[in-house]
Amino acid sequence: MNPRSIAVITLALICGTSAAFGVSGLGGRRVVYREPETVPVVVASSPMARGQMVTAKMVALQAWPKSLTPPGAARSLDAVLNRAVLASILPGEPILDGKLASPDSGRGLAALVPPGMRAYTIQTSRIAANVAGFILPGNRVDVLLTLRSATNDLTGGGSSTTLLQAVEVLAVDQRLDAPAENRLDPKQLSSVTLLVTPDQATLLDLGQNMGVLTLSLRNPEDVAEAHTRPATLDLLRFTQRRPNGDPTPAGRPSRLSRYLTAMASAAVAAYAQAGAGTGLAKSRAPQYQEIRTLRGRQPGRVLVRAAPPPHGVD
């Protein structure tokens, strides 16, 4: 037998012996599996819509690992039965105490109103036209109030203001939960119920009786205050927006109009001073009319002198 064959046989014996010892060592070790500690958790056995009352057929008890149990999960069936659902719950989802109304809150819409708050319903056919039926229960909206007034007031005939901000929608018509398609038919929308404070309810009541209430849709997570200014018909006539949404300086007169206005004011003052000693200042003082101008995007005001009265006529 040549030396190469002897070397191959020796190497094979060494490898086989090593593998045998390794397998025997693994076989001697025992893997100990410990069952995790579990606790009973109430889970939903069927879908639960917002506003529904929890019944025994809708829930079941399951053993959950204690380390994986979410905080606030119900541990007994008695803790969830006959309570209203505040947010939709899917089958198999643990029922959290925060997703259920208090046991004494009752049924229906009243169960969704927290203590100290009120549910107020806006009834208007213009709600659907604002956001094309995309306002759903659970959304947040701003409430806009539009008022018409006399043409001789400061608004120029009408105004619109953001009355309330980031208000939660409790219900749309008689629906307390959003439909599966996340959209309602605008032709069938006639009312929206909002969750407001008592003071806000009085504002909505007065606004609904004296003007027109409309809604603008917000992101549900956007609850920050928006610094808005009321819009008036007088301001709207001379307001133009740049492509980025920034307003032009509303009501700021141009350099030419400021110059003409200053010249006219100086002429009026000089004429009145000249006629003060003769008693003609009042009768002969020229009358001026204000004309509003618009040069490109720049609004302005110009005083135009009216014809003076004839001599001898007061």
Q: Which alpha helices (DSSP H) does 29-66 contain, by range?
A: none
The CATH fold assigned to 38-111 is Type Iii Antifreeze Protein Isoform Hplc 12 (3.90.1210)
* Range scoring the smallest mean pLDDT among 49-63, 86-100, 253-267: 253-267
**Over the stretch 128-152, which tens digit does the pLDDT of each residue have?**
455 656 788 888 999 999 998 876 7
Give the H/E segment covering residue 27.
helix 3-28
User: Residue 60 is encoded by which pair of tokens?
Assistant: 């079941």
Whole-angstrom Cα distance, residue 69 to residue 95? 11
Whole-angstrom Cα distance, residue 197 to residue 183? 27
Please, what is the average pLDDT of the chain? 76
> pTM score, two decimals?
0.58
Q: Looking at residue 281, what is its pLDDT?
A: 44
Q: What is the DSSP letter of 120?
A: E
Looking at residue 6, its amino acid is: I
Q: Looking at residue 120, what is its pLDDT?
A: 94
Q: For residue 212, what are the β-bridge partners?
A: 146
**Over the stretch 92-131, which tens digit does the pLDDT of each residue have?**
999 998 888 888 777 778 888 888 999 999 986 555 455 6
Q: What is the DSSP letter of 86?
A: S
For residue 219, the SS3 value is coil
Exposure string over 141-173, b if 16+ CB within 10 A, otherwise e: bbbbbbeeeeeeeebbebbbbbbbbbbbbbbbe
Looking at residue 150, its amino acid is: A
Contacts of 268 (CB under 8 A, 6+ apart): 285, 286, 288
Contact, 195 vs 170, CB < 8 A? yes
Q: Parallel, antiparallel, or unpaired for β 298-305 and 212-218?
A: unpaired
**Over the stretch 258-307, which tens digit does the pLDDT of each residue have?**
555 566 566 656 655 665 555 544 445 456 566 666 665 666 666 666 65
DSSP 245-308: SPBP-TTPPPHHHHHHHHHHHHHHHHHHHHTTTTT-HHHHSPPEEEEEEEETTEEEEEEEEPPP
The strand ranges marked E within 45-94 are 59-65
Number of C-beta neighbours around residue 101 at 10 A: 20
**Over the stretch 171-204, which tens digit does the pLDDT of each residue have?**
888 788 776 666 666 666 778 899 999 999 999 9
Q: Start-end ranges of CATH 3.90.1210.10 in the chain?
A: 38-111
Unique residue bearing structure tokens 């302005």: 300
